[in-house]
Structure 1
């Protein structure tokens, strides 16, 4: 009974703290999650959407520095699509499949934050506890709260800020060695006064979880989170060896070819980026987080509420993930991850019951680029009921222009005037050799001058084109321009 009382009191405290610290617009969006859709809601992507997603990823793989991409899409609170593209290994050749796990890097941090919050719910600790309660020998341990470790506001200098593997990190280390070195250095700033990403803070958090729970970090996350959610692919790479059947991580030097990446030595990415899993299993975690399947509501509010600095300035960061509003006013939780040879991007739209997971076995910005284009595609089709009809008209007019016989009933008076016989002839002469249309994706829409602007990317056998269009209020095309990509 005492444990339940402590848990209830701590949950109330979490809720009060989260509510007090959040920006009003973000908080309203978070609170709206109290009425999310059930886990059993139907989830299905339209065939055209699937084809468009496939085209986005295949186009991204033309950047040869990333051999493969694995994605998972959550729609209506349910896994709606999972696919893998390219090669998990170049030599020996191994095709990527959706069943393969990828290293997710710093997306591990939201699991560590969740583990800490489970201990809060258990009554084992408080986010406001000073770390001196667990690790008194660390720098200014009696002044820094557990919450500040998870929010990147504690001030401990980051031991892994580089985007390449330093030679000393190829050798194994221990958690104690990391804490003894970077955890005992002078702070980079006064606790709470700045936001500065720090892997050191999460290494300290991981050790606190072990001390408070009495079990290893791997065992705690597995028993309390991943096993409960049926995330069978999830492993701690500090404990489970990477095998030949797993994807090979790659890196490039300048614009050179992808070469096998040398992984970090054992324990360098412990608690800061040690998890690996399939895209589908990371999507299962996203669903659980949105629907309070593992964490209680108060804990979910804590993990997804923006932390403020002592000056009152927002950080755009909750606990283990970024928390922000898109320019269109959608609430977005997101985080990227990088370890040697792998990149990940996990993006959740909680009020839309949607998530996008993108995993790669190479560096660069492919994971972010693919995420952004899939986001634009999904929200263009869900928020805009006219979008599919507009896409059909653009497809039809493009094919007609290739043949030299455009249907002028699709056009406004102005566009009919633009398409003189000479312009139509030039369109036909230059577009027909490109061959059949393979995919059309609307990547952006806006309004201007009473018209609806829609930007399309059309992929043909002969290349990819950019097509900016305008539509009149009655659905006529008022602009149709074609540019090479």
Structure 2
């Protein structure tokens, strides 16, 4: 049985929504086996509900409580980006300044800007791609040495031409904050962000690990939960070093949706998706993902450090935020809970896109009748679907009966488009393969049935 500790705030949510949130979290924890989840909700721009499920520590059978701090991992990156933006507002740097202004010794530092660092388009390799703790991270680390090692290597790609997640970028950004701000990174962040927002219970994992009440866990395959090793001080310097209770994270979310800390132009920089040199959209701003979820604009990020995974989503136009903190590494529980709550709180918007499976089923049903919505196809695909093709699709697919299921089997990138393959099953039992190409603007370049 999952133990629940909940706090309803001044503006309460409906009993029906509360029940849905609780049921969603409990179901995900049962299915994933994650020890606990701390969940927080902002509705109409105010914190309305914080709750926790499960166990914060298994060794002493301690219940999770919403006031307990959990490590938030890479969600910390948006706080680092905000530090850079504050320094830009102070006139001490610019986003398009080259890294060479502070670290001329690093690889291609004249060609890489602060904006490249914060958007993961620098070309610097990621020092920490693993989802488990490697031996090096169990010993105290040195951010400056880390940067000289990993940003001293040849680039993975030309700056601004690709998007590739790299924690190295944000360690370097934190060191630049120190040089431009004239104080330790953690002090700058505390004085300019945490204290003004009254985020009073935030921990720095470089100095405050002993204050964590929640233990992190991991599994080997499907084995039992085992105590995880949190990285030693000096690692995840400005890229994943924060821990906090869910209410403090929601306080930050409210500041983002209400634009209370930074100037409006800084928030535009923070939440505007970066375009690569070829015009491709990265769907990533400055330390934060930018996108659309079920027809609702969302800025979000996930985070992971040893033993912890977190998910944080802000829907600024809806004045909704959902934060979920969990204590098992390499677990899908935080994101699954967040998706379930978002589905309960935010019905599909007017511009919600159908899933690829739903879209394919609709198109196939139309083709059985010899009909097609040409607005969702490219010019090339519309050329392919001439009258002869429509007749052939109709005459060969209609006898198979209703389309019962469309199941995606594979997805990859090819030619700048998304290639997907599906298994389609008809009422009569016949199965065929469907192959599609989707362009970056959502149109179908290919829709082929293969026996």
What TM-score comes out, normalization by structure 1 length? 0.69
Deviation at 1:382?
10
Residues 62-94 of structure 1: CA deviation (Å, up to 9, x unaligned): 146411100110001110110011100000221
Q: Over the residues paired in the alignment, what is the CA RMSD in angstroms?
A: 1.6
Q: Is 2:190 aligned against 1:222? A: yes
Q: Where has structure 1 moved over 2 Å in runs of 4 or more?
A: 41-44, 380-383
Q: How many equivalent residue pairs?
A: 341
Residue 338 of structure 1 is matched in structure 2 by 304
Q: Distance in 1 between matches of 2:282 and 2:148?
A: 28
Match of 1:272 among 239, 247, 272: 239
Match of 1:46 among 6, 10, 14: 14
8 Å contact from structure 1 (residues 42, 76) kept in 2? no
Residue 335 of structure 2 is matched in structure 1 by 368
Q: Is 2:42 aligned against 1:78? A: no
Listed as ranges, the gaps of 5+ residues in structure 2 are 1-8, 351-451
Residue 86 of structure 2 is matched in structure 1 by 118
SS at match of 1:352: coil
Q: Is 2:330 aligned against 1:359? A: no
Residues 301-324 of structure 1: CA deviation (Å, up to 9, x unaligned): 000000000111100000010001
Q: Distance in 2 between matches of 1:381 and 1:110?
A: 27
Q: Is 2:160 aligned against 1:192? A: yes
Q: Is 2:70 aligned against 1:102? A: yes
8 Å contact from structure 1 (residues 64, 258) kept in 2? no
Q: Distance in 2 between matches of 1:44 and 1:65?
A: 29
Q: Distance in 1 between matches of 2:318 and 2:221?
A: 39
Deviation at 1:44?
2.9
Deviation at 1:165?
1.1
SS at match of 1:325: strand
Listed as ranges, the gaps of 5+ residues in structure 1 are 1-40, 384-485
Residue 288 of structure 1 is matched in structure 2 by 255
SS at match of 1:316: coil
8 Å contact from structure 1 (residues 64, 257) kept in 2? no
Matches within 5 A, 1:48-197: 48-63=16-31, 65-197=33-165
Q: Distance in 2 between matches of 1:191 and 1:233?
A: 38
SS at match of 1:337: strand
SS at match of 2:30: coil
Q: Distance in 2 between matches of 1:319 and 1:279?
A: 22
Q: Distance in 2 between matches of 1:381 and 1:84?
A: 27
Match of 2:216 among 249, 254, 260: 249
Q: Distance in 1 between matches of 2:287 and 2:116?
A: 11
Q: Would you tell me which structure has more helix in proportion to its own residues?
A: 1
